[in-house]
Amino acid sequence: MGERTSYAPGTFSWTDIATSDSAGAKSFYGGLFGWEFEDMPVPDAPPYAMARIGGKAVCALYERSAEQPGPPAWLSYVTVEDADATASRARELGATAISEPFDVLEAGRMAVLQDPTGAVFAIWQPLQSIGAELVNDPGAVTLNQLNTGDPQAAERFYSELFGWRFDEVPEAETGGEQRYWGIFNGERLNGGMMPLEQAGPGAPPAWLVYFTAADLDSSVARIGQLGGQIMLEPTAIQSGRIAVAQDPQGAVFALFEGHVDP
């Protein structure tokens, strides 16, 4: 089981989706992953719906208000010791603050940033909430992948900010036609990176969230039945198979079927 009770600084620890239709998103993702939702009240804002598997928090969704710009999208969070200090350092390294550090009730403190290559991510200083209590299991997050138009600039930025190490996958393992990097936080695989041109025409710089699928073909079929679209059909990679999809509201996410160490 991929249960978690803490995360080392620099580790991806949470994801949530800002959607245009929370009821529709609940129906789609609940039908796809079997998530159970618990609405958490938020002062002067729509509820924050915790998605759980077996009672364990895996991610969340909320309805974007009229004052919040942008299309529906998943947001990846990285655990940090000090959100204010990390946000300040990120700006020194060329990031843009989408949201300055703020307290999320008693759960933690966060900020939303855009890296120098255009991808948006969040930082999370945990207080009462560590983030996801379950990862890698079916229906839970298993990988965060950076699609960027400037891999070298991205590597410089994140290495300086979080101390990440980027290891390029040998050509023999990618078939020689694509480039891919594993992102390590210490000795543990923490994510991946891919040149933007490999993500498809018109793809924006972004962190792509992967969820584990026990049966990729069944999940892909279910996505269509639930009103979503498949953007990348099931594709074999060294460690398993992947697919990329878009939910009915327009948010893009990915699926992974394979082996991931718990």
Mean pLDDT (the chain) is 94
Could you list the beta-strand ranges (E) of 64-119.
73-79, 96-104, 108-114
pLDDT band at 183 (very low <50, low <70, confident <90, very high): very high
pLDDT value at 259 more than 70:
no
pLDDT band at 178 (very low <50, low <70, confident <90, very high): confident
Whole-Å CA distances, 21 to 71, 73, 237: 11, 12, 33
Q: Worst-scoring range by mean pLDDT, 43-57, 154-168, 170-184, 193-207?
A: 170-184
pLDDT value at 188 more than 70:
yes
What is the C-alpha separation between 126 and 128, in angstroms, rounded?
6
Task: Output the pLDDT for position 200.
Answer: 81
pLDDT band at 258 (very low <50, low <70, confident <90, very high): confident
Residues whose CB falls within 8 Å of the CB of residue 100, separated by 6 or more in sequence, listed in order = 87, 111
Phi and psi for 3 in degrees, rounded to 5? -75, 145
* Of residues 157, 146, 148, the one with CA closest to residue 89: 157
Q: Worst-scoring range by mean pLDDT, 115-129, 147-161, 169-183, 242-256?
A: 169-183
Query: Which domains are delineated in the chain?
Result: 12-126 (3.10.180.10), 141-258 (3.10.180.10)
Torsion of CA 247, 38, 103, 165, to 10 degrees: -50
Task: Output the pLDDT for position 63.
Answer: 94
Phi and psi for 119 in degrees, rounded to 5? -85, 140
* Of residues 203, 213, 61, 85, the one with CA closest to residue 145: 203
pLDDT value at 90 more than 60:
yes
Torsion of CA 180, 97, 88, 126, to 10 degrees: -80
Rg of the chain taking only CA atoms, in angstroms: 17
Task: Output the pLDDT for position 171.
Answer: 67
What is the C-alpha separation between 201 and 94, in angstroms, rounded?
26
Q: Tens digits of per-residue pLDDT, 37-56? A: 999 988 888 899 999 999 99
Task: Output the pLDDT for position 260.
Answer: 47
The answer to whether 31 and 226 are in contact (CB under 8 A) is yes
Task: Output the pLDDT for position 235.
Answer: 93
Beta-strand relationship, 206-212 and 252-258: parallel
Mean pLDDT, rounded, for 82-106: 97
pLDDT value at 87 more than 70:
yes
pLDDT band at 65 (very low <50, low <70, confident <90, very high): confident
Q: Tens digits of per-residue pLDDT, 108-138? A: 999 999 999 999 999 999 999 999 999 999 9
